[in-house]
Amino acid sequence: MDEAARVAMLARVLGSEVRAAGVELGIGDDAAVLQVAALGGERLVWTIDEQVEGTHFRREFASWRDIGWRSFMAAASDVAAMGARARAALCALVLPDDLDDAALEAIAMGQRDAADATGAPVIGGNLARGPVLSLATTVLGACSSRAVRRSGGMPGDGLWLAGDVGLAAAGLRAIEKGALGEARLAAAVEAWRRPRARLDDGLAMSAVAHAAVDVSDGLARDVGHMATASGVRIVFDEAALRADTALAAAAAALGVDALELALHGGEDYALVIASPRPVAGFRAIGAVTEGAGLALRSAGAERALEPRGFDHFAAR
């Protein structure tokens, strides 16, 4: 298909006649148009994320539809972490010559699935040719009052988690090993292939939490950003991190340490908040104290923890 035919196909799959709140003009013009009054908030929360073949995924590890879904959810998760509602998305696709029309349509179907699940339709984008597949997704959200930043954590806050951490990393290892028939790994594989932006949890915490991040590059690394931005020390509770039974089962099947996966595995898109009180849907995994850096508390003892995780540009 030429460019016009591809745009027409994408408009059909993604919904050329989008009737979401505030969408006045969708795919097919120079830009999309949104009505401000219908966005339902005084503030816009706006993010962009990009997934690149070979860096973020390999086509033999997930279906095209999964790849569309994952790339959308990775971007929407940033909106969840600010405590906002996702309203709409645009996607810029770079397509290599060996990606056929059926693959492009499947990617768009995965994006549509994710758009339906989040309530944020894809209302525009860009197509370009290039040597490697990439998907750049920008999501616009709205919130009625303040957005929850990384920087507001205070000594005395509890550290709370919504969702799994480490499970997606276990799933990726299972896929790499070809261990897809193992029942104890099924939830992990699903976690990697079909992560969910936790938008409802984000709304639930938005009026209470002092600080929030989503876990894309690993718990220690992302919460390390929160500790630095907030000027506090954050202490994880080892027993709490080991309490995830799906993670424990997957770690046992892989023969790896569940704690290592929980602290340093990424791509689960869990939410972590520093909050003075509990929030429904979140479980306690630690505490915020005075000081700096990260620590792990195990059986009463505490040791410092490196905020390592996924870094695209770490020394290599």
Contact 269, 222 (CB under 8 A): no
- Binder among 116, 128, 145, 260 for its own copies (CB under 8 A): 128
Site residues for its own copies, 107-126, by CB under 8 A, read 123-126
3-state secondary structure of 182: coil
- Binder among 9, 21, 25, 154 for its own copies (CB under 8 A): 25
Contact 136, 49 (CB under 8 A): yes
Contact 77, 216 (CB under 8 A): yes
- Binder among 14, 62, 67, 91 for its own copies (CB under 8 A): 91
CB neighbourhood size of 278 (10 A): 12
Alpha carbon dihedral 182, 268, 154, 202, in 10-degree steps, equals -120
What span, in angstroms and rounded, lies between the C-alpha atoms of 117 and 57? 22
Q: Looking at 12-20, 29-37, 259-267, 290-298, which segment touches its own copies (CB under 8 A)?
A: 29-37
- Binder among 120, 136, 204, 305 for its own copies (CB under 8 A): 136
- Shortest distance in whole angstroms from residue 12 CB to its own copies: 17
Backbone dihedral angles phi then psi of residue 230, each to the nearest 5 degrees:
-90, -15
- Shortest distance in whole angstroms from residue 297 CB to its own copies: 25
- Binder among 15, 141, 163, 218 for its own copies (CB under 8 A): 141
- Binder among 13, 62, 73, 95 for its own copies (CB under 8 A): 95
Site residues for its own copies, 40-79, by CB under 8 A, read 41-52, 54-56, 78-79
Bridging pattern class, strands 85-95 and 122-129? parallel
Contact 159, 283 (CB under 8 A): no
- For residues 35 and 245, which CB has a smaller minimum distance to its own copies in the complex? 35
- For residues 129 and 303, which CB has a smaller minimum distance to its own copies in the complex? 129
- Shortest distance in whole angstroms from residue 30 CB to its own copies: 4
Site residues for its own copies, 257-276, by CB under 8 A, read none
- Shortest distance in whole angstroms from residue 101 CB to its own copies: 9
Backbone dihedral angles phi then psi of residue 237, each to the nearest 5 degrees:
-100, 115
Bridging pattern class, strands 283-289 and 293-298? unpaired
| Rg of the chain on CA atoms, in Å | 20
- For residues 47 and 275, which CB has a smaller minimum distance to its own copies in the complex? 47
- Binder among 9, 28, 61, 242 for its own copies (CB under 8 A): 28
3-state secondary structure of 157: coil
Site residues for its own copies, 181-220, by CB under 8 A, read 212-214
Q: Is residue 235 within the footprint of its own copies (CB under 8 A)?
A: no
Q: Looking at 36-44, 61-69, 110-118, 244-252, which segment touches its own copies (CB under 8 A)?
A: 36-44
Bridging pattern class, strands 293-298 and 233-237? parallel
Q: Is residue 304 within the footprint of its own copies (CB under 8 A)?
A: no
- Cα–Cα distance list, 159 to 6, 233, 288 (Å): 46, 11, 7
- For residues 150 and 173, which CB has a smaller minimum distance to its own copies in the complex? 150
Contact 222, 309 (CB under 8 A): yes
- For residues 47 and 285, which CB has a smaller minimum distance to its own copies in the complex? 47
